Amino acid sequence: MNLPFRGGRTPAMTEQPLRNVEFSPTDALLREDVNMLGALVGEILADQRSPAFFEEVERLRRAAIRRRERNAPVAELAQALEGVPLDHASDLVRAFSTYFQAVNLAERVHRIRRRRDYERQAAAPQPGGLRDVLNGLMKQGVSREELLALLPRLRIEPVFTAHPTEAVRRALLKKEREIVTCLVGDIDRSRTPAERRADRERIRLALTTSWQTAEAPSAQPSVADEFQHVGYYLSEVLYRVLPVFFEVFSDALEETYGAAPVPDLLGFGSWVGGDMDGNPNVGADTITATLAGQRALVLAAYRRDLVALGEVLSQSITRVDVSDELLARIAFYRERMPAAAAKLRPRHADMPYRKLLTFIHERLWATQHEEAEGYADAEEFQSDIALIEDSLRTHRGEHAGGFAVRRLRRRAACFGFHLASLDLRQDSATHDAAIAALLGDAQWSARSVAERTQRLHRLLQGEDAVEGPGNDTSQSTLEVFRAVARLRPRYGERAFGPYIISMSRSAADALSVLALAREAGCIEHAGDGTSQVPLDIAPLFETVDDLDAAAATLRALFADPLYRQHLAARGQRQVVMLGYSDSAKDGGMLASRWALQQTQVALTKLARDSGVRIAFFHGRGGSISRGGGKTERAVIAMPRGSVDGYLRLTEQGEVIHRKYGIRAIALRNLEQATGAVLRATLRPRIAEPREERWRAIASALASDSRAHYRALVHEDAAFPFYFRAATPIDVIERLRIASRPSKRAGGTGVVRPPGIASLRAIPWVFAWAQNRSGLTAWYGVGTALERALQQHGREVLAEMARDWPFFNTLVNDVEMVLAKSDLGIFERYSLLASGVRSEGVDVDDLHARFHPGIAAEFERARAAVFAIKGTDELLADDPRLRQSIRLRNPYVDPISMLQVDLLARWRAQGSEDEALLQSLMATVNGIAAGIQNTG
């Protein structure tokens, strides 16, 4: 019996090895980790189910490998999984998913191993790391003065959203962390045999209990549950990583340019509890609860650090001096806080640092419980920490606790008492509905922009007043602004990020927010007697047409005298959010990317002309078609001058887990993002004379791609019916992984008519990823590239892919999705549409109508990538990704075939069988874990 899980060769890794690929000796350790974990998974399957079950899993795996490696018909694999009993199907999915978990963790730990290899070689820093970037900038002629001038305005802000496509339970996250700890402990094979056996048992325990734990809660997650999920990454991972990032940056800076202070350039944001767009569960109450929860998390983290510092800072006044200021602070607290003073231990009478730490700890406790002795703000807390740091520095304490205190100071400077800035987001239609109700004007949204602007001006200047209390929509909207006014003084000015207006189309959309905020009393009074709304108002341009019109919209807004007053109070800085998801759903990925590129070019010029600094906020999703992919590569591909020392981007779905689930990988991602911003700002690529021609070609590509994409997705009346038959969208809509509906609602709360337009971008992309087609990333691209190759020749497009970062990133991203797609498996899903008739459309077989054209477009896209890159194999220049995909395919394919079979059975029974639905949900989670880049 071949048992690759038990130490034998794994065919998925050894049959037909990758051509022309050389891996380092370190990569062999990845193979060892995968085999060790795979052996444990096999033993667990046999133990938890039965040896026969394990053999069945092996048989299916071998069939999947045979199908891929020997071009066996996919029907063989499909037939082996037809009619599997439901409880058995769920266990099969769980078995393959457990393997994904093992491979995913092994690969993440291997990234840490590779980083350590680079760090051992001082002469060869890891590409994309801060040492590598600073060395490169020095070679390009960046002076110390030029670099230090940029640092104070450098800002990197990842923003975590509540848009999951793979929500891992917190209990399972902790088990993953245990496995990672064991793998890292033996990362260089330095453990003794006894230690290795102990680690293996710890891993077995974590994997077995994971097997026995449901992957997702049985109830729909609430906003509070989503907060707990994102809070884990903020408080358990990034809180720990943050000071290490600054130490790495400081060391790299000293090595290249000499020692210099590194400012507090990192910040984090969150949409959880503040994203009201289409989510009736979010409003003033969740905003209040979320900020309180974030404060509780960060204050608890500070208190843990203070306890650890108390163990370190045991200095006695008889052995070393401390600053007079520190002694004075202790005396002040003794008088002000007698109850806390009574807790001082007599044996600590000669230990001033421990005494002050006790008072600080008590003040944090009082802060959490809203007591009078609490800190007024985070700056007061930071002042106490700074006193300790300064005293240690001036009294020979740099190596006697200074390092640990400095780490706490870095954390306090970043996380404050708010942990992460809470962004607020609402659809412009909701604002229109609220204004209409307050003004008693049922025709408000239909009025021209000029009419609305004129009336809003009168409201803002106090020359007009609302007609009455409005309705539920207006009152709930006003309550949000009242919550901001109430909570901002308590949590600090950084507690709130921008107020984002979804579906922004005119200057009136931003003025509406100002008017609603003022009506709610959300204003801040300045010393000169004026008052302004204390929020950055960020229009979000989402569709291709809205992106194209963004410059005109902003130009009108900047010309508005009342809005310019608001901008002056905000430091002449305008946040603009760019929507990657809806623009791609609207016009296809290529048209979306080009519209985003063009918009950044136009708005960067507008910023220069108007004297306003535009800060771009990139609303990227997890998948390629929603703007996902490598952050470093995306930043370098942005237009010259558009980065300007600032990067704010959303992190969502499985990306959060993949990028921030392990501390060392989170550190690497922060380094890469910061390094890319440094490069793009200090040494953007030089002006390229060929780019004028390239841009003309890209514009034609976008036009051709969009036309082909829209002809299928938006203009064919039968396509929505095919979409619902050939994807598991009906299962995705019932998944319990998010608190918000899968479809958008209008401003009045009425759900828009069913179809593609009303569906949110995430389930749209998720559905096409599940059926293994990846259609949303490449449909339309094949036709456009084929036409461009015919018109301009291979050499021109190859030159563009080689020398133009925008086009290089585009082609590489399309190639990656093509490599992850499987048209053979997709055909099995498409066959589900055979015999499905669309209402009002005379088509007998939707599969016969749509599948041939989709398959032909896939082949056009693949052939175009081959021609442009001069290869006959996808990912020929990225062997590690190719290996990673190849490792997973034999375990994803059986789950896909199970999903097709279960979908057919579920739909045949009217889509009401709850047991079938539960098994289908398990397949959705399993495929998502296997292919990654889902939504």
* Catalytic (active-site) positions: 163, 585
Q: How far is Cα 452 from Cα 508, in angstroms, rounded to an integer?
A: 6
Can you name the residues that pair with 160 across neighbouring β-strands?
A: 270, 651
Distance of CA 614 to the CA centre of its chain: 22
Give how far Cα 305 sits from Cα of 309, 342, 369, 412, Å. 6, 22, 19, 11
Residue written as token pair 């650890």: 308
Tokens at residue 933, please? Answer: 């880049």
Cβ contact 920:67 at 8 Å: no
Per-residue DSSP letter, 837:
P
- Residue 126 three-state SS: coil
Query: No. of H helices and E strands in the chain?
Result: 41, 10
Tokens at residue 483, please? Answer: 């919550």
Per-residue DSSP letter, 743:
B
Number of residues in the chain: 935
Q: How far is Cα 920 from Cα 897, in angstroms, rounded to an integer?
A: 11
Angle at CA of residue 451, ends 448 and 454, nearest 5°: 145
Q: Give Cβ neighbours of residue 857 (< 8 Å, ≥ 6 apart).
A: 708, 778, 779, 780, 782, 783
Give how far Cα 584 sits from Cα of 329, 696, 885, Å. 58, 20, 25
Q: Which of 199, 33, 13, 214 is nearest to 112 (CA)?
A: 33
Give how far Cα 756 sits from Cα of 663, 742, 760, 799, 911, Å. 39, 12, 8, 37, 20
Q: How far is Cα 346 from Cα 358, in angstroms, rounded to an integer?
A: 13
Distance of CA 639 to the CA centre of its chain: 22
- For 681-690, the CB contacts below 8 A with 24+ separation are 681/150, 681/154, 681/643, 681/644, 681/645, 682/137, 682/142, 682/146, 682/147, 682/150, 683/137, 683/140, 683/142, 684/640, 684/641, 684/643, 685/636, 685/640, 685/805, 687/640, 688/803, 688/804, 690/799, 690/803
Tokens at residue 119, please? Answer: 């760090």
Q: Which of 465, 473, 400, 460 is nearest to 430 (CA)?
A: 473
Q: Which of 155, 50, 141 is nearest to 95 (CA)?
A: 50
Q: Which of 925, 700, 688, 706 is nearest to 167 (CA)?
A: 925
Cβ contact 131:252 at 8 Å: yes
